[in-house]
Structure 1
């Protein structure tokens, strides 16, 4: 018995649509064509001329479990991912306990195997306890299944420690993924240091806080040969440094979030902590530089930095609330509405940034729509108009600045290795 998806459009490299059928056998795409073979036992899915895409990949997600289950769990976070069209996500290590040793990482894998609705690849931490004091045993963690290494949420503060970490990661051929932030330049800031922080009389975080650490790190990556990946780029200076590093042949890659592409500091009208994230929303010039960097390949793909918090925590205002917003259930619709429908990017470009590109950067065996590939697929209704409603989120997190935004386009069916893990009610 197999699954046959009929009457679907795939997006070709020239952005043209091609109506086709797809057959899934044993969790793998076994046929793609105008007409595929069919038996009486097959399950038939009518694609209704919607768009079929490789399942989305998000390399930057906070699932919070273990230790932060009030904010999110592996189950709720992966349900949210499936609803957003994601079939593979990578879980950040800022949990309690931190996956800085084999035992903890194996326990997290066991929990994921029990409750995850999509594929989850866990990061391990660069330093023990994310404290920036002692390096984790990367060899042990790779053997236990670590996807890559990061201390996301905290920048590695000394060049010597980053150099040692890169040498270890390079020897194992795994990426070192960096949250770039020089703590000596933060000065207790809660938002970007600029006109809005001055208007609101709040302490600001300067752009150089991020870019100066990237500049240091790309030279260390050149010295070690490490694959160095920059998380959530937010400043024009950072884009320039990364662009120059790529031109120099340094092995650096980078991601940008939907919220940094869609918003800037001028969108913060009041002390609303749903606009508080790290890195913060920067200037309009930074926002434009991020889009330019994405279009010219300086920035490789889009990742959400899905960071759920409780309503109580986010209700403390800009000064006291934690950094972070959720993004898994809104990313595609927001990006399609504001960039594809406005003819700034093509649909093919957007789908590549959400699937093929992250897979390519990290060497994943996912992210493609071809015969023999795992059947990780997302069906997209690009005509559906709707309003984002945070009360309907499957994530525990409701912390989004996009509540009530009108958008077009929606994932309506998500398949992970041949299993349907999400169906939109109106589509069924």
Structure 2
């Protein structure tokens, strides 16, 4: 396969069409009318060129739940969605709470080669919330872990959360908190409100998320450490994060594509495809989340890609697993909810889906601008395309996408990882 690619006529971040020459893993030249002997030419007329996307919140399920997803299949889905780097969450089996497990996930990512995989280490042993995991050993491992999270579970003990925040300061780590007060969400099934009462489904109050975020912002400020808030879903959470940032505290936050597009009204179908943690919220919450992402209060989009086998979703609502697929549709949802309505331009998309998540994860060769000398992690995207999401055509081993049958804009036509195409003409290479 060629190591030299000449991308012709791409619009970098929506600017004027130009050419990009990728050679030996870096962007060698940018300009009009470029040529290079032996280069494979890629026609990018009408396409947007974006830096490779970075996901701070992906569930790859391996080791332990290879029936739902593997590193191989999950990173294929990532490449098709325009991602060149993903952070793999720790709630595997065994849990990624030791240097050995995070190194296994890291090596599986390198072997698959579809995108770079950066393991997230567990905060507590076995996600049990009782004792800190081997944070330092994971940070010093070959995987060089910098993000730690018990995602799927909340670190609800305030003393343990304080100790974790203190510990990761030594190596510039960050604690990514799944904000969910467990006592307020026992048996909770959907967003608490008038609709949950009508449907007879146990309500999940906004305050269960907001109380933990408020506590942890205060703790992060107290110890001078970095806090990242996973999957913000309520208007109240946005206000707490906004105040923390106004105070100068080291707090960042993410929102998922599904919380930008879908609302709790979908629960009226009783279809467990719409069951997710945190739950889909009200239309008013969705509007606030979009505005907060646009104004920078929420830093990034993170997919929370959560694959589940059919038997875990094809059942009654109360018995179904929480979670939705997200990698292959994330950029389309962001175009639908932020770009097309005029809330974000393509430079803003690059900031929230590439630059900022790479900064938070402390990645050095991802989330870089498309400039000469920078790593050739590039996405070519057709914003004019429209297609209906077909769950059967997804690369993921699971099929639990909430967008099945929905028409969404845009299509990733090429993804280059360190100058090598992982996707060309919309297909895996």
SS at structure 1 position matched to 2:296: coil
Aligned to 1:406: 407
Match of 1:384 in 2: 385
Displacement of 1:363 in angstroms is 3.2
Distance 1:393 1:352 in 2: 26
Deviation of the 1:37 alpha carbon: 4.5
Q: Structure 1: give runs of 5+ residues left out of the alignment.
A: none
In the superposition, the TM-score normalised over structure 2's length comes to 0.95
Q: C-alpha separation between the residues in 1 aligned to 2:146 and 2:68?
A: 23
Cα distance, 1:165 vs structure 2: 0.5
Q: How does 1:2-401 map to 2 (within 5 A)?
A: 2-11=4-13, 17-39=15-37, 41-144=38-141, 145-365=144-364, 366-367=366-367, 368-401=369-402
CA displacement 1:131-190 (0-9 Å, x = unmatched): 111101211110012131110111111110001010001122111111011111112101
CA distance in 2, matches of 1:338, 1:248: 29
Deviations 1:383-410 (A, max 9, x none): 1121111110001121122111112211
Find the residue that maps to 1:344 and give its secondary structure.
Answer: coil
Q: Which moved more, 1:96-105 or 1:58-67?
A: 96-105
2:78 touches 2:327 (CA, 8 Å); kept in 1?
A: yes
Q: Would the aligned equivalents of 2:414 and 2:426 in 1 still touch at CA under 8 Å?
A: no
Asked if the contact 1:412–1:427 (Cα under 8 Å) also holds between the matched residues in 2, the reply is no
**Greater CA deviation, 131-140 or 41-50?**
41-50
Equivalent in the alignment of 1:415: 416
Q: Distance in 2 between matches of 1:118 and 1:227?
A: 26
RMSD of the TM alignment (CA)?
Answer: 1.6
Q: Is the 8 A contact 2:59 2:88 kept in 1?
A: yes
Distance of 2:200 and 2:421 partners within structure 1: 49
Aligned 8 A contact 2:80 2:427 in 1? no
Give the distance between the partners of 1:7 and 1:292, measured in 2 at CA: 32
Return the TM-score normalized by structure 1. 0.95
SS of the residue aligned with 2:243?
helix
Structure 2: any 5+ residue segments left out of the alignment? none
Give the CA deviation at 1:364. 2.2
Give the conservation status (yes or no) of the 8 Å contact 1:170–1:224. no
- On the 8 A contact 2:412/2:426 being kept in 1, the answer is no
Equivalent pairs counted in the alignment come to 423
